[in-house]
Amino acid sequence: MWSKRTKKTIWIILLIAILPGFVLWGFFDSIKKSPGQSHYAGRIYGRKITSREYQSALQAVNTAAAMRLGDKLQQMQQYLNLEGQAWQRLLMLEEASRRRIRIPDKEVVRTIRSYSFLQNKKGEFDEKQYRQVLRYVFHVPARAFEEQVRGDIAIEKLFQEVTAGIEVGDTEIKESYNKANEEISVKYIAALPAEIAADFSVPDEEIKAYFTANNLLFKKPLTYNLEYVMLGADAPENKIQETLQRFVKAADLRDEAKNMGLEAKETGLFAENGPIPGIGWSQKLMERLTNSSAGKFLPPVKTSTGIFLLKIKEKKEPYIPPFEEIKDEVKKKMVSQKSVQEAKKRIEECLSKIKAAAAAKEPVSLEQLAKSLSLKSGKTGDFKFGSYIEGIGASDAFYTEAKKLSPGQYSGVIKASSGFYIISPDSFKPVDENKFAQEKKEFARGLLFKKQNEAFDQFMREVEKKSAAKKF
């Protein structure tokens, strides 16, 4: 159906899309490190995964990120969780191996030669350009890159095998196209907590009583502040250890780093289980922090951007601040909760009046009703499913409810990020059937691709469970 080049481009996009998506599962996030397992990185389907296998997978996902982000890789790296992506790649490759998916050398060569970024202006594979890209862009030896490509192809074939029976029919295509392209506008009445909050006046004794009854809501998490120095990713082991020992013996890390021509930095306080400022997200580092105390140095942390030598400058245990210190925060939270409760009460009263008027076959004026209950009324512009309605929020619930209604009918209460709403259809713009006929084929491809991704995502969730995967 598609040309080889189009398929290859789509697969590169897919490979990049698949891996970050799985990070949302929390894959391996809750797994503790086992002692005495330093020569192995983990276990999948009962097979021990060597540290070398893990490093190869980490290098592969870093290459994929470089293909995607180019020179923005370094500034975006702290948000990518490449360690997590490497484990997910290992899981997919292990599943491919269990299904006896084998990739011959000639297919690897053919795939590499098809990459447009490795071809000259004539569309021919350029050996010199290939070597330069590997050396100066991806920073990976040819043999390692070729094995990465072999793995990419294996994952592609696994994807194709899992999603082979998935199709989209004409009815599904038309319904999805309509949903993506038809436009609706609605009239609404809204109870907005932010506007209601402005009318609240809360005495200090009530705020204090709220804090006393709900002080756990204001508990601050475990936080750390690290001092660190970054060495080059290619720093030899003897230099790493020598530098670390000098820091350990030094009275002041910052001064010693300066004497060595290095720069020491500080993260500032950050919460556990989040990205580390200036370094990024690292499950391994967080595990080490949990078992260490202030003043201690951590084992060197190796990433694709560099090698970090770190000292815990401060470790602040979870605590509940004194009331006077966070009085404004307590008041804000209390008022926020009360305004939400009041908004919900008003919108439900509004709905009762609309239903009573409908039962009595009396007309309803949203403007007058809103005024009587100190609510807001208005009308949206045209919007589609999956869009954003300015000042309101995501459109999906509004679209879904409006499609069920005829002119003059009213929805139930709809909860949005900005407040509570009752809507009534105002206008409807159907799709252009001629445009649909022109775009149907391309739209169907995108719809199929989305459906395949969803199925593969579910499949990998099941593989994760049955493989009993464990990180050491």
- Encode the chain in three state secondary structure: CCCHHHHHHHHHHHHHHHHHHHHCCCCCCCCCCCCCCCCEEEEECCEEEEHHHHHHHHHHHHHHHHHHHHHHHHHHHHHCCHHHHHHHHHHHHHHHHHCCCCCCHHHHHHHHHHCHHHECCCCCECHHHHHHHHHHHHCCCHHHHHHHHHHHHHHHHHHHHHCCCCCCCHHHHHHHHHHHHCEEEEEEEEECHHHHHCCCCCCHHHHHHHHHHCHHHHCECCEEEEEEEEECCCCCHHHHHHHHHHHHHCCCHHHHHHHCCCCEEECCCEECCCCECCCECCHHHHHHHHCCCCCCECCCEECCCCEEEEEEEEEECCECCCHHHHHHHHHHHHHHHHHHHHHHHHHHHHHHHHHHHHHCCCCCCHHHHHHHCCCEEEECCCECCCCEECCCEECHHHHHHHHHCCCCCCCCCEEECCEEEEEEEEEEECCCHHHHHHHHHHHHHHHHHHHHHHHHHHHHHHHHHHCCCEEC
Nearest to 197 by CA among 343, 328, 372, 374: 343
pLDDT in tens, 167-188: 999 999 999 999 999 999 999 9
Pairing between β-strand 183-191 and β-strand 301-302 as defined by DSSP bridges: unpaired
**CA dist., res. 91 & res. 42, Å (int):** 11
pLDDT band at 137 (very low <50, low <70, confident <90, very high): confident
Mean pLDDT in residue range 146-158: 96
The first and second tokens of residue 381, run together, are 């512009």
Compute the mean pLDDT over every residue in the chain, rounded to the nearest whole number: 88
pLDDT in tens, 99-125: 999 999 999 999 999 999 899 999 999
CA angle 238, 137, 134 (to 5 degrees): 85
Amino acid present at 382: D
The neighbouring-strand residues paired with 228 are 265, 310
Nearest to 5 by CA among 116, 118, 130: 116
Q: What sign has the CA pseudo-torsion 44, 50, 53, 57?
A: positive
**CA dist., res. 26 & res. 464, Å (int):** 11
**CA dist., res. 432 & res. 446, Å (int):** 19
Cβ neighbours, 10 Å, residue 234: 8
Classify residue 123 as left (phi > 0), alpha (psi -120 to 50) or beta: left
**CA dist., res. 436 & res. 369, Å (int):** 41
Query: Which is more confidently placed, 73 or 306?
Result: 306
**CA dist., res. 192 & res. 206, Å (int):** 23
pLDDT at res. 177? 97
**CA dist., res. 365 & res. 425, Å (int):** 14
| pTM above threshold 0.75 | no
Q: Which of 42-46, 135-139, 167-171, 200-204 has the highest mean pLDDT?
A: 167-171
Q: What sign has the CA pseudo-torsion 3, 6, 8, 11?
A: negative
Nearest to 277 by CA among 325, 223, 316, 327: 223
Q: Is the pLDDT of residue 410 over 90?
A: yes
> What domains, with CATH codes, occur in the chain?
4-167+440-471 (no CATH), 183-206+327-429 (3.10.50), 220-316 (3.10.50.40)
Pairing between β-strand 223-231 and β-strand 183-191 as defined by DSSP bridges: unpaired
Q: Is the pLDDT of residue 159 over 70?
A: yes
Contact 188, 379 (CB under 8 A): yes
Q: Is the pLDDT of residue 406 over 70?
A: yes
pLDDT at res. 7? 46
Query: Which is more confidently placed, 466 or 73?
Result: 466
pLDDT at res. 17? 46
